[in-house]
Chain A
Amino acid sequence: MNDQMKPLLAIKDLHTRFHTLDGVVNAVDGVDFEVYRGETLGLVGESGCGKSVTALSILQLLRCPPAEIQGSIFFEDIDLLDLDREGIRKIRGNTISMIFQEPMTSLNPVLTIGEQISEAVRLHEGMTRQEAWRWTVNMLQMVQIPGPRARAREYPHKLSGGMRQRAMIAMALSCNPQLLLADEPTTALDVTIQAQIMNLMVGLKEEFRTAIVLITHDLGIIAEMASRVVVMYAGKVVEEAPIKELFKDPRHPYTQGLLGSIPVIGRKAQTGRRLQEIPGIVPNPLDMPVGCRFHPRCHKAMDVCKKEEPPMVLLGEHRRVNCWLEADCEGKE
């Protein structure tokens, strides 16, 4: 029981700032959440809300300066932010891996696919060249790339987008990581390929028992793959819930807006309602609104929302929301 309850990854009060010529950008401004073994956590939000930066902060892939990371990121009791360069290097690709949004630009064009996959394996697992190559071909097969032996010798520009993404997944999973950070893995792909990749990931997840942080703005993918969801807006967490509850009963006006703006065929006929949109635009990170960051776009905004930041309200196990509306009704637990 104890083991199950202890999170694999625990982010506490993470602040990631960028020092730019125009000022300080607080891309991640006090974020905390946890990821448990084997689960798939969805990290949802619009472009610019800080979800990618959060993932990059976990593996410290941001250039510091101009970035500055503060807070704690506990991975199995070790604070990753305390590790030195060697320490975090050992974690990368080994215990925690990442896959990126653009398979076109995320693979090195002058190295073969096989080389890019096997170098990670050689480094972390200490295999010889031949062993690593065999392993690579094996991985390519697992991600369902046809003719893996031949493909391994090819360069990225010869592969289609979907195949490149599969190769990236193979690369990330090659050392059997405990946690996979997937940053918009399907956004750059065609819709039909998206479905394929998602199925692949579901299958692999079962096989490898990897925990996944699935970063995306696409709620459809979340619905398919995640068991729990964290919603972010303007650098902060606004809501967290198990998947079914989020879809059935979203508490934060932003989440409600997101769900309401998914086109559903026949909804107008059924409910008489038109497609809802969230008015306004995402705030300029250099010029955040005072109080609740969402208040300029919230039709339920109250006076207190404009002045003070809302508290975190616990609504149940792994269920919380950052909103004055909830604070009013339920109070802190």
Chain B
Amino acid sequence: MRIEAIGCEPLQLRRVHLENSRSLDVYRKNGGYEALKKVLDGMSPDDVISEVKKSALRGRGGAGFPTGMKWSFVPKDSPKAKYVVCNADESEPGTFKDRYLMERDPHMLIEGMLIAAYALSSKLTYIYTRGEYRYLIDIMDVAIEEARAAGLVGNNILGSNFSCEVHTHTGAGAYICGEETALLSSLEGMRGHPRMKPPFPAVSGLYASPTVVNNVETLTAVPDIIRMGGEAYQKLGTEKSGGTKLWSVSGHVNLPGVYELPMGYDDMEKFIMEDCQGIPNGKKLKAVIPGGSSVYIMRADQIFGKDVRMDYEGLVAAGSSVGSGGFIVMDETVDIFESTKNLTEFYKHESCGWCTPCREGTDWLVKVFKRIANGDGRPEDAQLMLDLCDNIEGKSFCPLGDAAAWPIQSAIKRFPEDFRKHLSNGNN
């Protein structure tokens, strides 16, 4: 597996190949905690938020919401404690970038959290990590203790008036806890059910207090934004999609891995065929799911010769989205009916059961998929599945329902032949 920057100098990945990259010593020798020092030496919380706004950094967890704007929603005059929570519940199928950031460069995350906490006047922060990533929680705990011993975490950080705690927290196997309000329910010791918005977490989040929840990749971008300035960071990418982005590449490519690309990288065909060295065993590309399992699947002919720019706007124009950057490549041997069935089983398993459209809808969809797979497909089943999706999409309590519907809708529309094949086999 390859971990490499393409088309730009490595930014978030610039320390990952150093020896002992996870130690405080190596981190500090390579620019670590300088941004925190810069912040404490003379930036106000508003200055920090303003730099992050200028950077055009958008949430890297999947939704792509502008980070600076999210931070500015936290009410400054609230007398309540404020919380910063890192979403390290990386569970979107096809996504594994946060894992390597935490494994190889844990202090970058701690520094990002401290800067965010300073900007939001938070004294208590949590890293909510998926339970399966136990070894990363251990790595983060060691790094936090190292930072504490060096006066970087705890009271009067670097001799300033700023005090802040960073704690790790474990999930226990629930995809839904990647949704920020479900994550907060879980962090409060409840079942991971999402909550009604509004109020948004910025106003009423953890313990009903103002809270910002950001993805690992988002928070680890913050030290560089402060170090180089928001504008310079933005210019690495495009006007609306600042900076660089990590792509987790898996499936049928010769060089899977974590790739850091500048936002707006041109283009997707070159990325697959040259940077990832194409499809193994001389096979042809059939489909790509570019942003984690929840985004629209793309046909090869939507990519080849189409100059698909790899950023938020470019991917929407090409008929999909950036999502989490979980880039799943499928060759001609993959049956898109089968791959969509696999993902639908995932969503059914992970539906939290809180709302009816998602709980019943995903269950019903899996039943239909299984019946078709058993040879009992009916010609009208494609329409039945689309109707079921229509009753989930936009009608579920949280975005998991939409995420379950989109892969099916796009697969039926873009690969009708793969579905037709199964439906005409039925014993009608």
Are A and B a genuine interacting pair, yes or no? Answer: no
Which B residues are closer than 8 A to A by beta carbons? none
